[in-house]
Amino acid sequence: MSFSSRVFDLHLRHPFQIARREAMRVRPIVLLEANGGVGEASPSSYYGDTVETVLAALEAFRPVIEENPPIEVAVRRMNELLPRHPSAKAAVDVALHDALGKRAGLPLYALLGLDKNGTPLTSFTIGIDRLEVIAEKIAEAAAYPVLKIKLGTPRDEEILKTVRAATDKVIRVDANAGWTREEALRWVKRLADCNVEFVEQPLPPDDLEGLRLVKEASPLPIFADESCVTSADIPRLVGCVDGINIKLMKCGGLREAWKMIHAARTFDLKVMLGCMVESSVAITAAAHLSPTVDYADLDGNLLITNDPYEGATVEAGKLVLPDRPGLGVVKREKR
Ligand code: MG
């Protein structure tokens, strides 16, 4: 059995900023090769991960990987060894799925019994920036029919005006927990006339009662992102939101994401698959699950200039899955 990991710096096309933190220019990820499969951790400090914690967790998981048990067992063993560390677990989970697909000679979507033609459109994210740069980013995003706009700032009104002056496309709004209850109640009504599809995480993650109040008052659907980390969070969100945003790097991999999709369906919640800034390895892994969800926001690899792999692509906004076995990702030549 094989195991190797390396740190790789993803370079952002534009510095990427959201409500709660400074702009990011470089995103270090950890690429994992395990048992013939490739995986990726894109560590988010918001969920307690750094490159250092990923590398340490992967070392702790090494004996599990070397035993090469069924994926279900590997995931259970990792959870027994260490709580948290979702992006390191996602790297292992994705690599084992890739390896399984390669052994079976099947693309991951086929292994999961999914229809590759059923992939959704993905949104393209416009981060917080100076107004003239926001207008430039919207022009650069001409190929994408749906945009995701980051709000939750003191400049929301001017950002929205800039966006709406630049495009009449459908937009999704993500406040990244940046509003108070009063602001959120005002904004959901304000956005209802602006060709907005839904509003993501208007309030801080723990304010479920606030989310319930906003959902009840909102003409637009409300999605939970920071409030919904794993499947364990879903039951208490029922009645508080209309849908959830699932990310491999916060839930711990495809196995848990799949569980979250089924749990959400049980409670009649809509499902979006989202991402961090990630390479085509993690984006392609999530894309293979995307025929089962309502919305995708799988654009992390579109925001970088030095993607180390190629995999899922986007045509007229729609995710296109590779037909090669496993994830179907291929290493790019060094540039
Ligand atoms: Mg979000």
Assign 3-class secondary structure to 20-59. Answer: CEEEEEEEEEEEEEECCEEEEECCCHHHCCCHHHHHHHHH
Phi and psi at 12, nearest 5°, equal -80, 140
What are the structure tokens assigned to 261, written together?
């999709």
| 50 CA → ligand 1 middle, Å | 19
**Strands 243-246 and 330-331, how do they pair?**
unpaired
For residue 239, report the distance from its CA to the centre of ligand 1, in Å. 19
| Ligand 1 centroid distance, CA of 226 (Å) | 7
Instruction: Give residue 20's pLDDT.
Output: 81
Tell me what pLDDT residue 334 has.
64
Residues with Cβ < 8 Å from 135, sequence gap 6 or more?
A: 162, 165, 166
Q: What digits encode the pLDDT tens for the residues 37-70?
A: 999 999 999 999 999 999 999 999 999 999 999 9
Distance CA 106, CA 34 (A): 18
Q: What is the pLDDT of residues 249-299, one digit of tens each?
A: 999 999 999 999 999 999 999 999 999 999 999 999 999 999 999 999 999
Query: Is residue 15's pLDDT more than 60?
Result: yes
* pLDDT above 90: residue 202: yes
Q: Are 267 and 235 in contact (CB under 8 A)?
A: yes
Tell me how far the alpha carbon of residue 7 lies from the centroid of ligand 1, in angstroms: 25
**Does the pTM of the predicted model rise above 0.75?**
yes
By CB neighbour count within 10 A (0-12 exposed, 13-18 middle, 19+ buried), where does 204 fall? middle
pLDDT tens digit sequence for 209-224: 999 999 999 999 999 9
Q: How far is the CA of 65 from the centre of ligand 1 (A)?
A: 31
| Rounded distance from Cα 201 to ligand 1 centre (Å) | 7
How far apart are the CA of 276 and the centre of ligand 1, in A?
9
Residue 76: pLDDT above 60? yes
Give the type of residue at 335: R
265 Rama class: left (phi>0) / alpha (psi -120 to 50) / beta: alpha
Question: How many CB atoms neighbour CB 195 within 10 A?
Answer: 12
- Between the CA of 203 and the centroid of ligand 1 the distance, in Å, is 11
